[in-house]
Amino acid sequence: METQKKRIRREYAPLTVHTGLVCTTPLSPVTQVYNSNNGEYEPDRSLTPTVVHPDVVAHAKDGSWKTPQANAYLANMVWKVNGVDITTLNAWQGYFTIETVGATRGDITITKNLTPGSYVELSFDAQLADDRLGVNIPIHCDPIILSTVDKSGDDYSMSLGDDQIIQYDPFKDKLHLYEYKVAHGLISASTANREAATDENSYERTIPVTVYKGKDILPTSAYSVRLFQITGITSGVAQLTELTTATDEVIAITNSGVTIDLRLIAKRDYLIRAYVSNELVAERQFSVNRIYPKFTVRPTNGTSINPHDVERYDVAMVDCDGNTVECPESIIKIIWKTDSASLTNVEHGEGGDIVFQLSKTGIGDTYLNDWLDVYCEGDQKEVHSVATDENNDELTDENGETFIFN
Amino acid sequence: MRYIIADKAKAVAHGFTLHGHRINGNLILLNEKEVECSHALSSAPTLEKKCELIVGTIYTHQGIINELEQGGWNNG
C-alpha cells in the first residue's frame, strides 16, 4: 500500500539586499559642465556617454546565495527620471540604452546633454528573482542627481578635490577600527596613531573646495562656502536644505573644504555653493554612498569537546576582499548558532567571539549524537544613528561628544 | 574639450573599458580627461605622447562630430 506523500523543502535564509547607484564613468560624470563661450558640453555625452550602474549586492545568512553581485538576476527593470519611467519620456528617446546581460545588467548608458543649469533625479527599480525561495524581491536604488553647470571663460567655477560619488566602505576604515580599539581598551589613545589611521578611506572625509575666476584660483578670503543637502527635484529644480556644523554628519565647513562623517550616511546628495558678496557664483554637486562588500564569516575553534567540558569558546574569522578583518564585530552583526542531532538553529549570542554552555546545545553522549555543528551568521551593520533620549535630546559623553550607534 | 580616436586593443591594454564607450570596428572614442588621467599612460608627459601609446588621433569637438558623421560608430 502506498503511503501519503509528504513534501519537505530545503529551508533557506531570506536574502539581505543592499543597493546603490554608481557612476562607472568618473571622467564622464553625472555633473556636466557647459561652456557658454564656445557652446560645448565638457564632456559631450553624445561622444563619451555617462554610465550609471545599479549596484545590487545580495547576501543570505546561511551562505546559500552564491552570487553576491546580483545584477544578473534582475527582472522588470525600470529607470526613472524625476520619478517617471524613462521609456515613456519623449525627451529621452534615443538618448539612453539599458544593459540586459551579465554583471552589468541594468546599467544605463546616457548620451543626453542636459540643459545648462538643470537637474534631474535618476532612480532605478527592479525585482530580484530569488529562485531558492521562489520569490521576487523588490529593488529600489535611491536616486542620484544628473546636473549641468553653466560656465563661461571668465566666470567663476568650482572644483572639488574628491570623487563626485564618494563611497564609504567600513571594512577599509582604519580610523573607525582605531577608535573601536581605544573605546574597548585594546590600545591606548594617541594622536600619532589617530593620524596614521586617517586616510582616504576614513569616515572623517574632507572634500577640498577650490574656486576659480576664469583660470585663476581665488584666495579663500574672497568667497564663502555653504553646504546644502539635495532633498529632491521639483520641475527640474533641486530642493535644498542648508546644513551647518549643527547637522549630525557635518564636522566642519570652511572656505577651503567641508568635512563630513560618512558613518552617518547611507545615501545622500549634496551641493556645495560658493558666494561672493552674498551672491551665488559657483556650485558643485556630490553624493555619498555606503557600500556593502562581500565577506565570509567562519568559526575558528577546531578542537574536540572533552567529556567533562561544560562550555565552549570560539572566535569568528571574517575575510573581506582577501584580507582578514580585525575586530569584525564593529562592522558585522555576528550571531552564533549550533546544530546537534536533537536541536538545530540554537542561538547563543552575538559578537566576534562567544562562550556558550554545551548543555544548551543538545549534544549527546553516544557516537550517534555526540557531535556539534558550530556556525555563525553575519550581516553588515547599517548606517550609524545618533543616540537620543525619550525627549529626542542627543546623548553625549563627559566632553560633549555625541554618542552614535548601529 | 578634445576627443581621441584610439586603437581599441591598445586602449584596452592600457586599462580602458569598452563598456560605456563608442566603438567603431577596431577604434574607440575617448575624451581628453580620460586620457590625461589614465594611470597606465602616466609615463608619457603630454596628451600627444599619451595618444601615441594608444595609437590615438586628437580631434576638436567639431572635428570629432564631423568624423562621427561618417558613420559606423555605435552608441556606447
Q: What is the pLDDT of residues A334-355, one digit of tens each?
A: 999 999 999 999 999 999 999 9
Are A109 and B76 inside 8 Å of each other by CB?
Answer: yes
Separation CA A339–CA A13 (nearest Å): 15
pLDDT at A6: 77
Q: How far is B2 from chain A (nearest CA, A)?
A: 9
Confidence of residue A1 (pLDDT cuts 50, 70, 90): low
Run of H or E residues at A179: helix A174-183
pLDDT of B75: 65
Residue B73 lies in a domain: no
Q: Would an 8 Å CB–CB cutoff place B28 in contact with chain A? A: no
Does B50 fall in a domain? Answer: yes
Q: What is the pLDDT of residue A80?
A: 95
pLDDT in tens, A269-299: 999 999 999 999 989 889 998 988 888 899 9
The answer to whether position B30 is within a domain reads: yes
Q: What is the mean pLDDT of residues A190-205?
A: 93
Query: Does B76 reside within a domain?
Result: no
Q: Would the pLDDT of A4 be above 80?
A: no
Q: What is the per-residue pLDDT across A11-34, written as a single tens digit (0 to 9) for each?
A: 888 898 988 898 988 888 898 888
- What mean pLDDT, rounded, does chain A reach? 90
Q: What is the pairing mode between strands A165-168 and A279-290?
A: parallel
pTM of the model: 0.73
> B37 lies in which domain range?
3-68
> Does B15 reach chain A within 8 Å, measured CB to CB?
no
Superfamily of domain A154-293 in CATH is Immunoglobulins (2.60.40.10)
B18 in contact with A, Cβ within 8 Å: no
pLDDT tens sequence across A376-394: 988 899 899 999 888 888 8
- Whether B12 maps to a domain, the answer reads yes
Identity of the residue in B29, B33, B61 whose CB atom sits nearest the CB atom of A40: B61
For B59, the grid coordinates are 580631434
| Number of domains, chain B | 1
What's the rounded mean pLDDT across residues A141-156?
81
H helix or E strand, kind and range, residue B63: helix B61-68
Q: Which of A38, A40, A51 sits opposite B20 (nearest CB)?
A: A51
Q: Which of A33, A47, A95, A101 to mutate to test the interface with B (most CBs of B within 10 A)?
A: A47
Say what the pLDDT of residue B20 is: 87
What DSSP line would sit under A1-63, residue for residue? -PPPP-------PPEEEEEEEEES-TTS-SEEEEETTTTEEES-TTTS-EEEEEEEEEEETTS
What is the DSSP annotation of A209-260?
EEEEETTEEPPGGG-EEEEEEEEEEETTEEEEEEE-TTSTTEEEEETTEEEE
Rounded CA separation A225/A257 (Å): 8
Largest CA distance in chain A: 94
Write the pLDDT tens digit of every residue in A65-121.
888 889 999 999 999 999 999 999 999 999 999 999 888 999 999 999 998 888 899
For domain A1-151, which architecture applies?
Sandwich (2.60)
Taking CB atoms and an 8 Å limit, are B33 and A51 in contact across chains?
no
Query: What one-letter code names the amino acid at A328?
Result: P
In the predicted structure, residue A332 carries a pLDDT above the cut 90 = yes
Grid cell, residue A202, equals 576614513
Residue B44 lies in a domain: yes
- Given this model, what pLDDT does residue A61 score? 80
What ipTM does the predicted assembly reach?
A: 0.91
Residues forming beta bridges with residue A275, ordered by sequence position: A224, A280
Q: Quick one: pLDDT at residue A299? A: 93
Size of interface A-B (CB pairs under 8 A): 55
With CB atoms and an 8 Å threshold, state whether B61 touches A38: yes
pLDDT tens for chain B, residues 1 to 76 = 899 999 999 999 999 999 889 999 999 999 998 999 898 998 999 999 999 999 999 999 999 999 999 888 886 5
